Structure 1
Amino acid sequence: MKPYLIVAPAAAMLCVTSALALDLITDAESKLPSAYQEVKRAGVTRGPGIDVTSPSGSVKKDGVAIKVDFKSRGGVPIDPKTVKVTYMKNPAVDLTERVRAGTTGSGIALEGATVPAGEHQLRVEVSDAEGRSSSRLVNFSAQ
């Protein structure tokens, strides 16, 4: 019976840690001054393609899915170490380590992230093995 006493608290700690790891944006960060940028149509880029499936539009503040696909150009592999996610506030908030667990060379995939209610803008950046980079602004509203 004693092993259950040791395992149960460890499992509970693991669940709490996982839940905390998905806290994408804190309330304090959301209250920082905005550094909102207009989404401009990009010119020709040789860097990796960035396709954002979610978040977009209006989402629930609890359980935000983050789904971003990276597309290599000319067969040059994407370097997952170069992925950077920034919350567009003043000062800018680096969210990269918060999404690192769901980041690969093919994109970012996380489920169940939490954000405060309100308007949010993120910038996703990535480079390929030849150092060519791309970025994409992501706008969404959380209810």
Structure 2
Amino acid sequence: MKRNVLLGVVAAGLLFSGPSRATPLITEEEAKLPPPKGAVAVEQRGIMRGPKVEFVSPGDSASSPLPLVLKFQSYGGAKIDPASVKMIFLRTPNVDLTPRVKPFVKADGINMQDAEVPPGEYMVRVDIKDSDGRSGTTVFTLKVAPK
């Protein structure tokens, strides 16, 4: 009887405790990897019908954990394919962040409110596709201030 009560208390505690820590996006070890040589953010110009990725937040610099928010926009009636979203941390070698952000990906963007990232500046590339097979890419710099 005592054992059943104890198990019930433990289970209730787990149910109501909720997540107690931030979601790791970039680890300390990955942050120490060397940046790729000659890496620069690329701006695409011209008329494009492919989907667009817009980096919304954090702003200029935020401390961790931070909100990582990106918005997706499609054109011509096409829909964003959430399964096509890829996020790459540009380092040598590159680090695939896709499995870490997948739970936060929706058709309209990525909303990860508690991303854990070490202090520093990091270049990240996001690739998406729409239902018509057109692709879109953005590269942004994630600036993380010390705590």
Q: TM-score, normalised by structure 1?
A: 0.87
The residue number in structure 2 matching 1:138 is 140
Shift of 1:112: 1.2
| Identity score, percent | 30
Offset of residue 56 of structure 1: 3.9
State whether residues 87 and 94 of structure 1, in contact with CA within 8 Å, keep that contact through their aligned partners in structure 2.
yes
Query: Does 2:62 match 1:59?
Result: yes
RMSD: 1.8
Unaligned runs of 5+ in 2: none
Aligned equivalents of 1:72 and 1:6: distance in 2?
Answer: 44
The residue matched to 2:29 in structure 1 has which SS?
A: helix
Query: Which of 117, 120, 127 is the equivalent residue of 1:118?
Result: 120
1:29 match: 30
Quote the offset at 1:28 in angstroms.
Answer: 0.3
Mapping of residues 67-106 of structure 1, within 5 Å = 67-106=69-108
Q: How many residues align?
A: 138
Q: Do the aligned residues in 2 keep the contact of 1:119 with 1:142 (CA within 8 Å)?
A: yes
> Could you say which structure has the higher strand fraction?
1
What TM-score, normalized to structure 2? 0.85
**Structure 1 position 9, deviation (Å):** 4.7
1:59-98 per-position Cα deviation (integer Å, ceiling 9, x unaligned): 11x2211111111111111100000111011111000111
CA distance in 2, matches of 1:112, 1:106: 19
- Structure 1: gaps (5+ residues): none
> Residues 4 and 32 from structure 1, CA distance in 2 versus in 1: closer, same or farther, beyond 3 angstroms?
same
The question of whether the paired residues in 2 share the 8 Å contact of 1:55 and 1:138 is answered with no
